Structure 1
Amino acid sequence: MAARDPLGGSVSITGQLSRLLRGRTAQNLLALYGVQFANYLLPLVMLPYLARVLGPDGFGMLAIGQSLAQYLSLVVEYGYSLSGTREVAQHRNDPNRLARILSGVLGARLFLSLIVVLIAFSLGMWVPVLREHPLLLWSGVFWAIALGFSPIWYFQGRERLRLVAILEVLAKALGVIFIFLVVREPADAYKVLLVQGWFAALASAIAWRWAWQEVGFLWPDFSMITTSVHAGWRIFFATAFISFYTSANSFILGLFVPPQQVGFFAGADKLIRAFLSLLQPLIRVYLPKFSHLVEHDPLAARSLFKRNTLLLLFLGVGGTIAVWVSAPFAVKLFLGHAYEPSVEIMYVLGLIILPVSLASVWGTQWMIANKLDRELTKVYIAAGLINLILALVLIPRMGSMGLAAGVVVAEVLGASAMWLVLIRRRLWFM
């Protein structure tokens, strides 16, 4: 597959891949793959052990706790992995501005952590499954806050990820070792979240100290916090609604079906998300570069958009085929014979790989770099609401398969809406 870019050069998949092997981009890409390995592939190493030790019921309970924790972590994180990265990339040579950005984000996250605790108290009183398992709830809240506090966005914006990536990988690897040591029976499901929380908190504390050593520490004041909240609120709402069809689905499913059925869906979903995680470093490593090029070299930015779209189209189609071929073997290997219903769920969820791949370029890279936060937020809100509505309609009728179908519809409609926005704003250059 090849095309001509605006600069007159030939654009090919192999040419694009060769570009990734050179310079700072290659170093940051390898660092992001290290973080992605820690975030998704290390838990995949644990998956066969936890699926068998906890059983479908215990594994379903863990999935509910993880789903809630990941959603709550988005409240604390507040979209700064995107908006914060963009701000740091645009002001990377101004230490005073960087110190104010760090201070504003810190103050905002402390305030948001209090909101998360209040939300958890309410859920603990009104949701039966959480009321009956308080250790699972509060271990998940602790992990959510620790996870949301990570300042990796700062180092990503400065395109210096190697050291902090090593720290994150090391922390999560140690967490995996401790989980193998302390989780022995279904009742230990909460310990998975507790251990992950402790090591996430340790890594975040060390990374914040490194950031302050570079630009200095400022106590957050009200103006810094409000500036930070205002800068990130659109992207926060976008990521919050994205999570209706990513992080929150297992929790939503658990409100309607037994934990065993949640376990079947969560097993398939984790395998799909682990595959999608292989694409994410290709997306995130280019966000600061897009943000810089859009401001200083629009022609080069358009060329990069074109190359990345072709690359992710190729990888999305190949990934879908790979999932369909490998689903029976993957379920047997990672989950075990007790999870056979997960195979059919994987067949359906495999359809999201292509729209997710393209939406990552069109939305996470291109729309954010062009400051189309408002349009992107509208797209994600619409897609999230569609997923939620379909879940409420289809789960009572079709169970986990209905939820899987709703996720696919939401992803396809979301990617299509981004494409239409880019055409309408004259930012489509294929």
Structure 2
Amino acid sequence: MSLFSMDLALKFIGFLSTAYLARVLGKSGFGSISIGISVLSYALVLADCGLTALGIRKIASDPKANDITGQILNGKLILAVVIFLLTATITFALSGLSENTYIILNYLFFLFPAAFMLEFFFVGSQKMDTVAYVRILGTIIYFLLVLIFIRDRGDAVLTGIAWTFGGVTTALFFFLFYKKRGLSFHFNGIRYFIKILKESFPLGMASYISQFTVAFPVVYIAYIAGNSQAGIFSAAFKMIGLFLVFDRVFVTLFLPKITGVISNREISLEKIFGTVLKIVVCLTLIVSMFLYLFSDFIIIKVFGDDYTESILIFKMLLVYFAFTIIDSVFANTLIGMKKEKVYTLSLLIAVIIILILTFVLTPFWGEYGIIFSFILLDIISLIYMIIYLKKDIEIKIARSIILPVI
């Protein structure tokens, strides 16, 4: 099974769970679990701290480097404990003994099975079939638990437990496949923790920034407008996330091509870049227009009549959807040219601006202020990458972007 097929299957099963929960829990309950997932997303990034990326890199360079497996797991476990305690303390301080607190805590328990996941070992060893089957199995277990135990609004607190059990299944099967290869590992305690953390931290910078961007809106909307509005926004945002599978297709097909062109110089980088950019812009516009025309049908059929307010949000987010895919052309070109720092810096600049705009605009426009900020984030990031790429290749903005739009 290819990486793309795995990603598509995971997104589809995950979205079935999302649609079911949105209908069963209603806007308020769905908003509550969306907050829990957003907080967990922050916690997972902090608890990983680039260790997964470092583990993949180390195993890929030396598959027999068995000691690195124990060091990575040791680091992730220590961070999981620290981040769990820190996040739980902050949650209790801000929300007290509320339903949101219990939902967040149940999701946070996922940090511990996540710390033991050996996915990095199999990715580094190029055993993508194993990764695919185990990840899909864990997602199916979660989906089945949701169908069995989540029946009405009062069951919202159980969703985090189902998520955690799905994680336990995933971690357990990764471990079984690891033992089947006759391998073992041992923990190093605190001895190597600081050393490996210094090495891994820079690798996680882009993840920290991008995850902050994705998880921030739901938490902030819940804070200023309540769980129901968070649920309405989350429904539209998750639908956009499903259709961003087109972005995944692009990355899968385009990045190896760009890397090959840069390495071999058999054909002009400017030529393939310009051609791909025009194709992506045209296809993105077609898909965006199709989704816009059928947005009412899509939202109501998937989430139900309670989510009619999500339709306008979904339509506005289609601008963000289009720019995100177009941004991928530039981002993956930079990555192929081994200039990831430029991409990371563009994200950082954009996030600073989005925070400023969000706090300025939301008092007047509510969640629509956040959508506007998101669109500007992509535009600012795109402009920065265009300016930088122009130093190395010729970019014909009018021919590749403006003309297809017209």
The TM-score normalised by the length of structure 2 is 0.84
1:264 aligns with 2:235: no
Give the C-alpha shift of residue 136 in structure 1: 0.4
1:69 aligns with 2:77: no
From 189, 199, 205, the equivalent of 2:172 is: 205
SS of the counterpart of 1:127? helix
Structure 2: which 5+ runs fail to align?
397-406
C-alpha separation in 2, matches of 1:106 and 1:342? 41
Give the C-alpha shift of residue 298 in structure 1: 6.0
Opposite residue 90 of structure 2, the aligned amino acid is L
From 390, 406, 415, the equivalent of 2:373 is: 406
Opposite residue 225 of structure 2, the aligned amino acid is V
Q: Residue 416 of structure 1 corresponds to which residue in structure 2?
A: 383
C-alpha separation in 2, matches of 1:285 and 1:74? 27
Map Cα deviations across residues 273-306 of structure 1 (whole Å, 9 max, x no partner).
011134325425776x579859964658959973
C-alpha separation in 2, matches of 1:355 and 1:42? 26
Q: Residue 139 of structure 1 corresponds to which residue in structure 2?
A: 106
C-alpha separation in 1, matches of 2:158 and 2:283? 36
1:337 aligns with 2:308: no
CA contact (8 A) 1:316 1:357 kept: yes
SS of the counterpart of 1:219? coil
CA contact (8 A) 1:182 1:191 kept: yes
From 218, 221, 224, the equivalent of 1:253 is: 221
C-alpha separation in 1, matches of 2:300 and 2:334? 40
Deviation larger for 240-249 or 353-362: 353-362
1:412 to 1:82, Cα distance in 2 relative to 1, 3 A: farther
Give the C-alpha shift of residue 243 in structure 1: 2.2
1:236 aligns with 2:207: no
Q: Residue 135 of structure 2 corresponds to which residue in structure 1?
A: 168
1:196 aligns with 2:163: yes
1:270 to 1:204, Cα distance in 2 relative to 1, 3 A: same
From 110, 121, 126, the equivalent of 2:93 is: 126
C-alpha separation in 1, matches of 2:234 and 2:96? 16
Give the C-alpha shift of residue 75 in structure 1: 1.8
C-alpha separation in 2, matches of 1:250 and 1:206? 32
C-alpha separation in 2, matches of 1:227 and 1:261? 44
Q: Residue 283 of structure 1 corresponds to which residue in structure 2?
A: 251
Matches within 5 A, 1:8-407: 27-28=1-2, 31-38=3-10, 40-79=11-50, 84-86=55-57, 88-89=59-60, 91=61, 94-97=62-65, 99-128=66-95, 131-147=98-114, 150-211=117-178, 216-221=183-188, 225-226=193-194, 228-280=196-248, 282-283=250-251, 289=256, 297=264, 302=269, 306=273, 309=277, 312-363=280-331, 365-407=332-374
SS of the counterpart of 1:95? coil
SS of the counterpart of 2:151? coil
CA contact (8 A) 2:104 2:160 kept: no
Equivalent pairs, count: 394
1:190 to 1:325, Cα distance in 2 relative to 1, 3 A: same
Q: Which of structures 1 and 2 has the larger relative contact order (alpha carbons within 8 angstroms, sep 6+)?
A: 1
CA contact (8 A) 1:107 1:220 kept: yes
Give the C-alpha shift of residue 247 in structure 1: 2.1
C-alpha separation in 1, matches of 2:261 and 2:176? 31
Opposite residue 37 of structure 1, the aligned amino acid is A
SS of the counterpart of 1:96? coil
Give the C-alpha shift of residue 103 in structure 1: 3.5
1:321 to 1:182, Cα distance in 2 relative to 1, 3 A: same
1:223 to 1:358, Cα distance in 2 relative to 1, 3 A: farther
CA contact (8 A) 1:264 1:339 kept: yes
1:156 to 1:255, Cα distance in 2 relative to 1, 3 A: same
Give the C-alpha shift of residue 157 in structure 1: 4.1
Give the C-alpha shift of residue 245 in structure 1: 2.4
C-alpha separation in 1, matches of 2:48 and 2:361? 31
Deviation larger for 380-389 or 56-65: 380-389
C-alpha separation in 1, matches of 2:268 and 2:383? 22
Opposite residue 73 of structure 2, the aligned amino acid is L
C-alpha separation in 2, matches of 1:86 and 1:305? 29
Map Cα deviations across residues 368-410 of structure 1 (whole Å, 9 max, x no partner).
4544343333222222222222222222221111111111111
Opposite residue 7 of structure 2, the aligned amino acid is V
1:398 to 1:197, Cα distance in 2 relative to 1, 3 A: same
Map Cα deviations across residues 125-171 of structure 1 (whole Å, 9 max, x no partner).
33227755332021111234545654434434444312320221122
Give the C-alpha shift of residue 224 in structure 1: 5.6
CA contact (8 A) 1:101 1:224 kept: no
C-alpha separation in 2, matches of 1:290 and 1:232? 28
Q: Residue 399 of structure 2 corresponds to which residue in structure 1?
A: none
CA contact (8 A) 1:239 1:380 kept: no
Structure 1: which 5+ runs fail to align?
1-26
Identity across aligned pairs (percent)? 19
CA contact (8 A) 1:35 1:169 kept: no
1:408 to 1:236, Cα distance in 2 relative to 1, 3 A: same
